[in-house]
Chain A
Amino acid sequence: MSRVGISREIGQSRWHAWWVNGGLLLLAVISLAPLAWMLSVSFMPSGQASQFPPPLLPAHTTLANYQALFARTGMGNNFINSLLVSVGITLGSLLFNTLAGYAFAKLRFACRERLFQMLLAALVIPAQVAMLPLFLLMKQMGLVNTFGGVVIPALASVFGIFLVRQYARSIPDELLEAARIDGASEARIFFQIVLPMLKPVLVTLAIFTFMGAWNDFMWPLIVLTDQEHYTLPVALASLSREHIMDVEMMMAGAVVTVLPVLLLFLVLQRYYIQGLLLGSVKG
């Protein structure tokens, strides 16, 4: 962020700068206003938000909504569920995707390229196609309404493999060859040489995966069938249908759901956006 004053190229007017920054400000306000309102309402006393004219700020801030949320609706439990599930998916898929991504990049095995093409083709198929039979499969395996049912199908993803592969391709082959000649096993090479070199993409993938798992809605909605096991998005959706008029408490629930990923993003946005670009624009 350069503070060297507005650059004045030939023909540019100060007016132009106002337009640009004004436009950005407007967009920023539109982007953040709903979130700010959410935060504000979550601290309002019950019933204040259902008034006309609608209030912008709490008459007096209160933690009652959060208390009610955790005491009456058990959302604290759902928060822990989301945490467990997201961490489980992140750690597990990080392992599986990295192993596979490295293999596709650097290890030779039969049909490697053909397999990878098939994986890329699978990206075209929307996940919902698989959800109905996957539910029946989970039922056979006894995994319906368990965390396993949510975590296990997410332990590997084509996107993750693709991301790691892209990155791993830049590892110099000579390094690996030298290690092999020295007698190191493939496992040793992977854990001691490759993994450290993959750290940036691992961080990116971890953030991506965690946030995706935290925000995931449709599959947990299908496979989790009772309130105790719900993750936050599912719990919030189910509550919002029951407590239609309890705006303040619903906003408290929204804050609890949104704040962790928002904070995570704020702290690690560099890596997140990097990953986004790596995945979408062929590097």
Chain B
Amino acid sequence: MTRALAIVLLVLLAGCAKPEQGTTLRFWAMGREAEVVGELVREFEAENPGIRVDVQNIPWTAAHEKLLTAYAADGLPDVCQLGNTWIAEFATLQSLTPLQPLVDRSTVIDQSDYFAGIWDTNVIDGQLVGIPWYVDTRLLFYRKDLLRQAGYSQPPKTWAEWEQMNAALKKVMGARGYPVLMPLNEFEPQLSFALQQDDSLLRDGDTRGNFRSPGFRRTLAFYDNMFEQGWAPKMSETQISNVWDEFFRGFTAFYLSGPWNIREFRQRQPPGLEGEWGATPLPGPDGLGAGIAGGTSLVVFRSSQKKEAAWKLIEFLSRPAIQQRFYKIIGDLPPRRSAWQSPELQDDPLTAAFADQLERVKPTPKVLEWERIAQQMRVVTEQVVRGGLPQDKAVEQLDQQVDDILAKRRWIVEQQAGTAAKAAP
């Protein structure tokens, strides 16, 4: 019996954490970035003996949940790659270290070198809480040969042109495929179109939904129309086995995606199709349109006990030379203009398309609830496209749901306004 007790105790003790030896930085990175950042990190360790970096790979599908769970359980890492649409959320939770003082002292990080719109996504309530790591936006990859078959030599610049092209392409492609591929499990395509409107997505100081605005209604109509006309398949990612194969097999002519696919497509292009595909900025309602000011930043969590070492890692990864190497390895676009001065980035027509789109990116609302709102938008939109929900009812529903989601934020803002009013003489 005592033996059994001993075993039980041993098992319980096994759960206790071991003490750290030396400085080990915990660095959470997501998806492909986590896989390739390892070799850069080894260089950093060589330059900084005494600092070890433990890279944890978090899949994007679980990242938001894991981060919040870690926050709730006091288990956040030292350094983290954070999608910039989530920065407002974690800043509101008081979990991010303000970085301005460190930037002011830094010789590596020069604010003026960064794309202004991207830098701005890291400033919440006047405080800088993240350093951009790479930029990301969505645009159209397209098949030039299929467009020529349909009678077009240039990609579309406006929504109207695009719709015309899709109609023509549909006739050419028939049952073989669809002119446009926008998997229904992604909210980025629709978000891109929504940002092209003048109406903002939230109103009243970002405390209520603005999805009943004419701008969003137009977006929803445009998006739904793609599926109604049969130009885009009503499928989610899991139903399309391999996007790259399908693109090159001619299943689709336009694919709305991001910079990581530059490399993927280049690697997988079959002989005979080189030069027959390209990238073009998103068409907008009246001319080339805006896109999502996306990307990820590097942040230092407030709970970290190793902020000095963490900052060193961030400075290392922000060096223009390192960012160029990073681009070479993975295809993530650098957020610094000086890093764009490399031949690979300057002479590449595909990255030129991204550079062009990046001139017209807009940020998403900087609210804690943004991730949930974006997902809700996707859910309601899917109900319109696949479930037969009328568009009018959909925008009403969405606004109501978003108002509910933002209820606590409204209350807090009112509280703060109240205290400010009382404090004012």
Contact = CB atoms under 8 A, between A and B. Distances in A.
Interface in B7-36: 7-8, 11-12, 14-17
B75 interface: yes
A152 interface: yes
A92 B8 contact: yes
Contacts of B241: 50, 245
Interface in B58-74: 59, 61-62, 66, 69-70, 72-74
A236 interface: no
B5 interface: yes
A68 interface: no
Contact of B12 (A94, A152, A191): A152
A225 B70 contact: yes
A243 B242 CA distance: 13
B175 interface: no
Contacts, number: 66
B11 A238 contact: no
Interface residues of A, number: 29
Contacts of B93: none
Interface string A118-148: 0000000000000000010001000111111
Interface string B158-183: 00000000000000000000000000
B12 A238 contact: no
Contacts of B69: 225
A69 to B, nearest CB: 16
Contacts of B15: 143, 146-149, 151
- The SS class assigned to the A binding surface is helix
Interface in A76-100: 84-85, 87-88, 91-92, 94-95
A139 to B, nearest CB: 5
A148 B238 contact: no
Contacts of A181: none
Contacts of B70: 225
Given A91-B7, A225-B66, A146 B75 contact: no
A244 interface: yes
Nearest to A147: B15
B59 A241 contact: yes
Nearest to A94: B4
Contacts of B66: 225
Given A146-B16, A147-B15, A88 B73 contact: no
A254 to B, nearest CB: 19
A95 B11 contact: no
Given A139-B73, A144-B75, A151 B12 contact: yes
A234 to B, nearest CB: 12
B59 A225 contact: no
A173 interface: no
A245 B237 CA distance: 12
Contacts of A85: 11
Contacts of B14: 84, 147
A145 B75 contact: yes
Interface in B361-417: none
Interface string A142-176: 01111111011000000000000000000000000
A144 B70 CA distance: 9
Contact of A191 (B1, B5, B73, B74): B1
Contact of A95 (B4, B16, B56): B4
Given A95-B4, A241-B62, A87 B73 contact: no
Nearest to A195: B1
A238 B72 contact: no
A182 interface: no
Interface in B105-156: none
B56 A226 contact: yes
Nearest to A87: B11
A147 B12 contact: yes
Contacts of B16: 146, 148
A62 B82 CA distance: 40
A87 B12 CA distance: 11
18 contacts: A84-B11, A87-B7, A91-B4, A91-B8, A92-B8, A94-B4, A135-B73, A139-B73, A143-B15, A144-B73, A144-B75, A146-B16, A148-B12, A149-B15, A191-B1, A238-B59, A241-B61, A242-B59
Given A91-B8, A147-B12, 10 more contacts: A84-B14, A85-B11, A91-B11, A139-B72, A144-B74, A151-B12, A151-B15, A226-B56, A241-B61, A244-B238
